[in-house]
Amino acid sequence: MTTNAIANTPAALVSTGARIAAALGVAAVVAAAWLAAGQESRAAVQASAAAMGPKTLYVTLPPVEIIGKRERAESTALAGAESSPRNSL
């Protein structure tokens, strides 16, 4: 009876090499998808962090025009500062 059971075993439809190649192909596709998802996740986290954080505001100011000069104020509090070279104008 054991001879009959072994003789009726069907042959494999796909060779072992083809099955190994298919398994490696599937593993490569899954690994590539995993890496791509990880990269997109990092990009999404950076974009959301930038959106939630304080934004840098750039302002263009108009040019300044000097229309006059002030005269130096004379006061007792400034009398000592006039002799100091650090505070001189």
Average pLDDT, the chain: 81
Q: How many CB atoms lie within 10 A of CB 21?
A: 12
Yes or no: say if 44 and 50 are a contact pair by the CB < 8 Å rule: no
Cβ partners under 8 Å of residue 89, min gap 6: 72
Average pLDDT (23-34) is 98
Q: Output 78 or 42, whichever has higher pLDDT.
A: 42
Q: Which residues contact 72 (CB under 8 A, 6 or more apart)?
A: 89
pLDDT band at 77 (very low <50, low <70, confident <90, very high): low
Stated pTM of the model? 0.46
Residue-wise pLDDT for 40-75, tens only, equals 999 999 999 888 877 777 899 999 998 888 887 776
Provide the pLDDT for residue 49. Answer: 87
